[in-house]
């Protein structure tokens, strides 16, 4: 099992973009992560699972988070 995403840790996507975690929330039994992906000329908000998966079914995706 992958570790939980936490505020204060540094992350990037599988493709290498920097990520800034804005919040982690436990609501209705779900742990949700909201973060900004830095594409250089703009930042894009995205929602992730508690372990940093972009897809809820946890298939591999280029936006999945990895700890730096």
If 0-12 CB within 10 Å is exposed, 13-18 middle and 19+ buried, where does residue 62 land?
exposed
- Give domain status of residue 4, yes or no: no
Query: pLDDT exceeding 70 applies to what percent of the chain?
Result: 99
What domain count does the chain have? 1
Helix H or strand E encompassing 35: strand 30-38
What global pTM score does this model have? 0.87
Range of the structural domain that residue 58 is part of: 11-67
Residue 28 confidence class, pLDDT cut points 50, 70, 90: confident
Measured at the CA of 16, the angle between CA 9 and CA 35, to 5 degrees, comes to: 45
- Average pLDDT taken over every residue of the chain: 92
- Give domain status of residue 2, yes or no: no
């Amino acid at each position: 099992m992958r570790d939980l995403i936490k505020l204060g840790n540094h992350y990037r996507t599988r493709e290498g973009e920097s990520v800034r975690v804005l919040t982690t929330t436990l609501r209705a039994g779900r742990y949700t992560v909201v973060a900004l992906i830095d594409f250089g000329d703009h930042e894009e908000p995205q929602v992730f699972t508690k372990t940093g998966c972009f897809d809820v079914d946890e298939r591999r995706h280029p936006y999945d988070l990895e700890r730096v």
